[in-house]
Structure 1
Amino acid sequence: MQDISGLPKEGQQLINSYGDEGFRVSGVRYDGSVLVMPEETKPWPIGDIDQLTLESLSELVAASEDIEILLIGCGTSMAFIEEDIRTALREKGIVIDAMGTGPAVRTYNVLLLERRKVAAALIAV
C-alpha cells in the first residue's frame, strides 16, 4: 500500500492509502471501489471503468451543491469518460477529471486540503 498523509478539517475524508483491492479512508478500510465525498465514503459497486454510468454516480450527483470537481480513478490507467456523463455533470456544476486511481487519490487529497469542493469515484487497484 502507498501511504498518503495530511491534515483534513474535522470530519473530512482523507484517503490514507490505496492498493490491495481497496482503500483506507480516514482510518477505515474499504474493500473494493469507493465514492469519496468530503464528509462521507461509501462502497461503490464498480469493478471496471466500462461499468461507469451516470446512474452509478447518482449519490455524487445528489450531493452536487457540495461538489465542483469529480476525480474519477479509472484503475491502472486513464480512460475516456462518455460525453453524456460529462455533460450531465457539467449541468450540475461538476467538472470531471479522469486519471488512474493512484493519481486520483493524490489529487483528491491535495484538493481537499486546499479546501476545494472535491469528490472522487475510485476503482480499486
Structure 2
Amino acid sequence: MAVKLSARGLPFVLRAIGNSSNAKSWPSLRRAFSIYDQINVLPGVPKDLIRIEGCTDTGFVANGVQYEGSLICINNLILSWSPRQLVDVTSDSLSIFQLLQPAPEILVIGSGKRSELVDPGIRNFLRTNGIKVESVDSWNAAATFNFLNEEGRVVAGAFLPLGISS
C-alpha cells in the first residue's frame, strides 16, 4: 500500500523523522523539490500550453519535440529565431512583439549558459510596447517561462541555446 504525501506535509514528516531517537543523517531534499526541475508545476494545466522540457547546447526540447537553434515562444506558438548570441538580439529581431495583441506582460529572455544583461535600448523598446523584460540563463528562463505560462499569465519567451556564450 503506497502512502500519498503532498509537498505541504513534507515539513511535518521531516520533523517527525528528525525527532526519532535513532534518526540518521538524511540527505537534503531541497534539490528534489526545486521548481526549476519541474515541467508541469501546477495541477490541471491545459495540454496545449508550451512547456520547455530541456535545454541543450544546440537547442531545446519543447512539448516532446527537439528544436535546433534559438526560439521564440508566444502563446501556443514556437518560432525559430535568428539571433545566435545575445549581442545579435536587437529591436528588429524582437519586432514581432509590436504586432501582438494583447502584448505579453513579460518577455523572458534566455541568454544561453550564463545570465547576461539586456542592452538598455532593447529594454526601452520593449517598455514602449508595454512589455517587461527579464534576462537570465536559458535553464532558469525556461523554468520561469513554464511557471508563468502554467499560471495563465500572458508571457513570451526568447531563448538562446546553452552553447551560446556572449
Q: Same fold (TM over 0.5)?
A: yes
Q: State how far apart, in whole Å, the 1-side matches of 2:93 and 2:117 are.
A: 16
Instruction: Return the index of the structure with the highest Cα Rg.
Output: 2
For residues 16 and 68 of structure 1, do their structure 2 counterparts lie closer, same or farther at Cα, with a shift above 3 Å needed? Answer: same
Deviations 1:36-82 (A, max 9, x none): 11210011111110111011112233225241100010111111212
Identity of aligned residues (%): 29
Q: Which residue of 2 aligns with 1:124?
A: 161
TM-score normalised by structure 2 residue count: 0.68
Q: Which residue of 2 aligns with 1:90?
A: 127
Contact 1:8 1:112 in 2 (8 A): no
Contact 1:4 1:15 in 2 (8 A): no
Q: Which residue of 2 aligns with 1:99?
A: 136
Q: State how far apart, in whole Å, the 1-side matches of 2:113 and 2:57 are.
A: 13
Runs of 5+ unmatched residues, structure 1: none
Q: CA deviation at 1:101?
A: 0.6
Q: State how far apart, in whole Å, the 2-side matches of 1:106 and 1:13 are.
A: 12
Q: Residue type matched to 1:93 in 2?
A: G
Q: Residue type matched to 1:106 in 2?
A: A
Q: List aligned pairs for 1:2-17, cutoff 5 A.
A: 4-6=38-40, 8-17=45-54
Q: CA deviation at 1:104?
A: 0.2
The list of structure 1 runs, each at least 4 consecutive aligned residues, that deviate by more than 3 angstroms after superposition, is none
Q: List aligned pairs for 1:1-125, cutoff 5 A.
A: 4-6=38-40, 8-63=45-100, 65-125=102-162
> Larger RCO: Structure 1 or Structure 2 (Cα < 8 Å, ≥ 6 residues apart)?
1
CA RMSD in angstroms comes to 1.8
SS in 1 for 2:107: strand
Q: State how far apart, in whole Å, the 2-side matches of 1:66 and 1:87 are.
A: 15
